[in-house]
Amino acid sequence: MNRRIQALALAAGIAAAAFSAHAEALVTKGSSELGIGGNLDFKSAVGTDVSLGVRYAYFFWDQISLGGTVGVADNDAATSFKIGGVGEYNFKLSDNYQPVIGTDLVPFVGLGLSYQHVDIHHEKENALVFTTEAGIKFFLTDSAAVITSGIFDLATKDIFPDDDDANKWNFALNLGMRFYF
């Protein structure tokens, strides 16, 4: 019984130390970032639309990364594939700031340019898409973060489903994970 209490106390102490630790997020020169995320789009031809994207970026400078992304999306109205480049700036909060849980909180903004191929209502379209993004990275550890962001896309052609039509712009919410090494 005594060992069980000691084990529980040790586990509670480790958990408390992990949650209260404050470390510098790995958004510094020389770090790599691997991300996976999805979009939740509330306004599409079939109601809510879900997509998946994967990205890799390298921090060439502190807080600034450049990289590439690929993504796929599918619903009853449209199927799409995209490939492109992304850039991101990560803001540094005051050293006095310490999150209650996790190791760091990092707001960010990003820009992207991609080629997107879409089959919408059985018509194929290709377009260049300019993307802006703003969000927050919530670091669970100094090498893993949950991200949430708003994404605005502007395309050269009508490729985004909207009710029974398509348009050149799209707004979506993104939720995902980023890993740093």
> Domain coordinates of the chain in residue numbers?
2-180
Overall fold of domain 2-180: Porin (2.40.160)
Tell me what the pLDDT averaged over the chain comes to.
83
The pLDDT value recorded for residue 155 is 96
pLDDT band at 14 (very low <50, low <70, confident <90, very high): very low
Tell me the per-residue pLDDT of 75-95, one tens digit each, with 9 for 90 and over.
Answer: 877 889 999 999 999 998 877
The pLDDT value recorded for residue 162 is 74
Tell me the per-residue pLDDT of 80-133, one tens digit each, with 9 for 90 and over.
Answer: 999 999 999 999 887 777 666 667 889 999 999 999 999 987 889 999 999 999
Q: Which helix (H) or strand (E) holds 10?
A: helix 2-20
The pLDDT value recorded for residue 151 is 94
pLDDT band at 15 (very low <50, low <70, confident <90, very high): very low
Tell me the per-residue pLDDT of 16-70, one tens digit each, with 9 for 90 and over.
Answer: 444 433 445 778 899 999 999 887 777 665 667 778 999 999 999 999 999 999 9
- pTM of the complete model beyond 0.85: no
Structure tokens at 24: 């510098």
Number of helices (H) and strands (E) in the chain: give both, helices first.
1, 10
The pLDDT value recorded for residue 103 is 74
Residue 133 neighbours by CB distance under 10 Å: 19
DSSP string, 82-147: EEEEEEEEEPPPPTT---SSSSEEEEEEEEEEEEEEEEETTEEEEEEEEEEEEEEEEEEETTEEEE
The pLDDT value recorded for residue 168 is 94
Q: Which amino acid is at 177?
A: M
